[in-house]
Amino acid sequence: MPNVPKWVADQMENLLPSKFMDIEVGTITRYSSELKQITFRADLSKIDSFPGSAINFRVSDTEIRHYTPIDFDKTNGTFDVLFHIHGNGPGSHLADNLKPGDRLKVSVPGGRKLYDHSKHSHFFFGDETSLGFYISLLKEINKNNGKVYGIFELNEPNLTIPYDIKTVPKTGDAALAALDNYMHDFRDSIFYLTGNVAAVQRFRSALKKHDISSRNIKLQGYWANGSAGL
């Protein structure tokens, strides 16, 4: 529900306090003009999370947007979020303007459990909004000595992000060409497709042409051109 009446959002926060966390902005790291990672501090001692979970930020009186917590650390009371500052909506605007010491209320982690523990090989496709999901699952995959590969379609300022992933420009078919190159080694993977709806659908069609079964494709659109929230 990306848009809700103000009174409903207020009531939810007041009547269901166990579903919300009070968080404070800590350290801020800028990877590029469009990518901002924020460490949030909170009492997480009674709050559970899972790899690839999502939290809801109330980005205005009436609008709610999803983001992915990374490094959810109950002991230290911290987690990070990697925000894509795309400049077109209230979520991006809020993230762009957050300063150390700002306080917010966000939902506790929830959402779909996409991580498949049973698989050895994991393949990611996404964009700036999917980087948090990738980082969050990567920790688990490494713990389990899994094999991992990621193709991320990024805007030009973000192509040099310091993660061990294949970054390609959003324009053209570079992602599909990269898929052709890596298909041989990653055919037995579970494929996680997140980010822009049209892009993940295009990538899924390419996987089907490579005879990848739908069973091994986990798809979640994060945003659609011209739509507010999802």
Q: Is 230 in the site for ligand FAD (CB under 6 A)?
A: yes
Separation of alpha carbons 141 and 10, rounded Å: 38
Residue of the chain from 39, 56, 78, 129 that contacts ligand FAD (CB under 6 A)? 129
Residue of the chain from 58, 84, 122, 218 that contacts ligand FAD (CB under 6 A)? 84
Q: Least distance from C-beta 14 to ligand FAD, angstroms?
A: 24
Q: Is 83 in the site for ligand FAD (CB under 6 A)?
A: yes
Pick the closer one to ligand FAD by CB: 146 or 229.
229
Q: Is 88 in the site for ligand FAD (CB under 6 A)?
A: yes
Contact of 40 with 100, CB cutoff 8 Å: no
Q: Is 227 in the site for ligand FAD (CB under 6 A)?
A: yes
Contact of 40 with 81, CB cutoff 8 Å: yes
Place of tokens 């999370």: 49
How many residues interact with ligand FAD (rule CB under 6 A)? 29
Residue of the chain from 71, 111, 116, 166 that contacts ligand FAD (CB under 6 A)? 111
Q: Least distance from C-beta 222 to ligand FAD, angstroms?
A: 4
Q: Is 191 in the site for ligand FAD (CB under 6 A)?
A: no
Binding site for ligand FAD (CB under 6 A): 54, 59, 65-68, 81-84, 86, 88-92, 111, 128-129, 132, 222-230
